[in-house]
Amino acid sequence: KFDQLRDGIVSLFKGKLRPAITGILFGFINIFVGCLEVFSHFIRIISFTFRLFGNMTAGEILLLVVCFLVPLIATIPFYGLELLIGFIQALIFAGLTLVFGVIALTPHTEEEHA
């Protein structure tokens, strides 16, 4: 990743101004893109955490409100609904974890982009 930056600095010492400027510029752009990529990995984890927390909290709030509004027998279907939603959320959580893991472990080489 630092080849363009190094080539730009070498060109600067050789007296070639145009390749030096483009090499240094692209080198710093690559460093900036690398920092953004690292930042995006942390943001994915945080987003994933908030999504799971929101879904779990929403189900509990729904059950709490229904329990206060209607008698106990009428809340039984909502417990079944909460179990179904919890199962679906577990599947989605596992699927997204798998996708994020595959994306994180896939090697990125120059041959793939050509």
How do residues 24-68 score in pLDDT, each as one tens digit? 777 788 888 888 988 988 888 888 888 888 877 887 888 888 888
What is the tally of structural domains in the chain?
A: 1
How many angstroms separate the most distant Cα atoms in the chain?
A: 85
Domain that holds residue 86: 3-113
Q: Record the pTM.
A: 0.52
Instruction: Compute the half-sphere exposure of residue 76: CA atoms within 13 Å on the CB side of its CA.
Output: 3
